[in-house]
Amino acid sequence: MTKRKILIPVDGTDRSMHSLDWIKKLFEKDEIQVTLMNVVEMFMAKDTMIKDKMYRAKQISHRVLDKAEKELDGYEVEKYLTFGYADDKILKKAEQDKFDMIVMTRSTKTALDRMIGSVTSKIIKNADTLVAIIPE
């Protein structure tokens, strides 16, 4: 049996970790291959990233991915860390690695964030694969 490939973006918040609970309820350990993804959004300062901030962000990201991996103990898990805009990076990874599904937790943002558009809504509109949005 071929395992389904599932991409799960996590940011370390309790909200984003709900996706992992949903996965464990829906899939047996031998049914899926999970890629946990964390995107660090970096801001430029005079066209160069500040190395110290980048290093700290990377350390935090590794902790987020490690925590999520522990939640999926016994599942086949790959961790992926990248820098950039979350929506662009998630869509690119999903297409590049041909995932069967992206699983995300719905965000409860402010009215301003909803008006501008969230990462989740951009993923839903632009992904070429199934996107499951898990309520908080």
CATH number at residue 35: 3.40.50.620
pLDDT on residue 116: 41
For the chain, what is the domain count? 1
pLDDT on residue 27: 96
Whether 136 and 13 have beta carbons less than 8 Å apart is answered as no
How do residues 79-114 score in pLDDT, each as one tens digit?
A: 999 999 999 999 999 999 999 999 998 765 555 445
Q: What would the mean pLDDT of 59-82 be, rounded to a whole number? A: 96
- Alpha carbon 65 to its chain centroid, in Å, reads 10
Q: In whole angstroms, what is the distance from residue 107 CA to residue 81 CA?
A: 21
Residues of the domain holding 78:
4-134
> Taking the model in full, what pTM does it have?
0.87
How do residues 20-61 score in pLDDT, each as one tens digit?
A: 999 999 999 999 999 999 999 876 555 555 777 888 889 999
What size, in residues, is the chain? 136
